[in-house]
Structures are given as C-alpha cells and as structure tokens.
Amino acid sequence: MWPSGQYALPASMFGCPETELYGWTPSFVNLSLPATSREQIWHDKDPLTFEPHILGPFYKRTFQFNFCTKEFDMDRKENADVWGPGKYCIYRVNTCRDDFQEGNITITGYSVFNRAGNHQTAVLTDNSSVIIHFCCRDDGDEKVEIRLPNTFPFQLFKGHSARMCQKVEGMDVKEDTFFMVNEHLNWKFNPPHPYFNTSNDRHIGIPFCYYYPSISH
C-alpha cells in the first residue's frame, strides 16, 4: 500500500490513486495567462492520445495544478511505509520525510483564477505568483525499480538529475511534458526540485511521469 505520512501527488487523468476513504483528498489551483501572452505547449510520447495524461483542464493560456493529497493513514498492516531510493519528486505537505530533500519553484506571470481544497503544497504569494513545494530524492538509480502500489495509475515527477522517469515495479511509464510560459524570465528555482526543460524560449517544461499497470504484470 502507499507509504505512510502526509504528501501529495499530481493527479492523473484518472484522478487520485485512492479515495477519501483511504485518506486521499483532491485539491487544485487554476492559473491563467493574459490574453496577450504567448501560448502554452504540451506533448507526450503516446501516439494514441496526443495529450498529457494529467488531469485538466488545461488549454493554451490556462493550467490547473491538481493535487492528490494523502492526509492520513488507514490502520492497514500491509501499509508499505517505504519510499525507495531513486531519482524522483513528489509534492510536499507540511514537511518532507527524512529520506527526501525539500525544494520549491515560484511561478510568476499567471493569475490565480480559482482554487479549492488544502493548499499547503501551493502557497500564493500574491495574485500573480504561486510557490509550489516539492520533496525529492536523488540517492539512487532511476533504472532500479522502486515498489509502490501497482493496480491503478498515478504520477510522479522526474528527478532533477534523472535522465528518465523513475522505474516502478509492475508499472509501465510514459513521460509527458507540459510547457508553461515564463514570459518575463522571472520564475525562481530553489533546488532540489524536479527536472525542468528550459530548452524552449520563455517556456518551462514540467516533466510528469505517468504510471499505469504493466500488461505483463
């Protein structure tokens, strides 16, 4: 089962990996760009979908951060209680576990259009910037599988120094990149944080790792 403690994952297109009955709650922050700004860009490597496997909505000038927050633990003996060593990141809730390191990014240039739920992961500094907090590991090989629940899709972030998404036992993975706009080149990065693609002018690529049960599992 999922490791104990408080943390959050990015929601996949199928929502959260477990229901509120098991301690998970959804929340979101919806951001929008001015009508005169350049457009966001997205792509994935799945020829059947052509869109990221993240939970929307998202469009050319809007993006919604959807969080799956694990608020409490169920009293289940099979609870794994372990995040294996590797190169990956999750969202921070309150504090990071001892085996993770904390970092954040400050996103600017967007207006907060709407929000709902627990926002300890995303802190609004004003109406045009938001700080996203992460917990990251960089203490293992991303090609060595870690063990997490493998019966329902979920998402992690690609680690800062990782060349690929972290391998997870019993899961296949697709890497999606959503390029948000850094119009004034004033986003702030406080490592450790996920690997961000900065190859596109005035765009920041966010690396979502989408996991789904392996057919061979």
* CB-CB contact of 34 with 181 (8 Å): no
Please report whether residue 136 resides in a domain: yes
Please report whether residue 21 resides in a domain: yes
Residue-wise pLDDT for 169-203, tens only, equals 999 999 999 999 999 999 999 999 999 988 877 89
Please report whether residue 16 resides in a domain: yes
- C-alpha 208/C-alpha 158 separation (Å) is 7
Which residue, chain included where needed, has tokens 């760009």?
A: 33
State the pLDDT confidence band at 96, using cuts at 50, 70 and 90.
very high
* CB-CB contact of 150 with 167 (8 Å): no
Please give the tally of structural domains in the chain. 1
Please report whether residue 1 resides in a domain: no
State the pLDDT confidence band at 80, using cuts at 50, 70 and 90.
low
Contacts of 204 by beta carbon, 8 Å cutoff, 6+ apart:
179, 180, 181, 182, 187, 196, 197, 198
Please report whether residue 120 resides in a domain: yes
Total-model pTM: 0.90
CA distances from 96 to 28, 54, 104 (A): 20, 24, 12
Please report whether residue 200 resides in a domain: yes
Please report whether residue 2 resides in a domain: no
- C-alpha 143/C-alpha 145 separation (Å) is 6
Residue-wise pLDDT for 124-138, tens only, equals 767 778 899 999 999
Domain enclosing residue 52, as ranges = 7-213
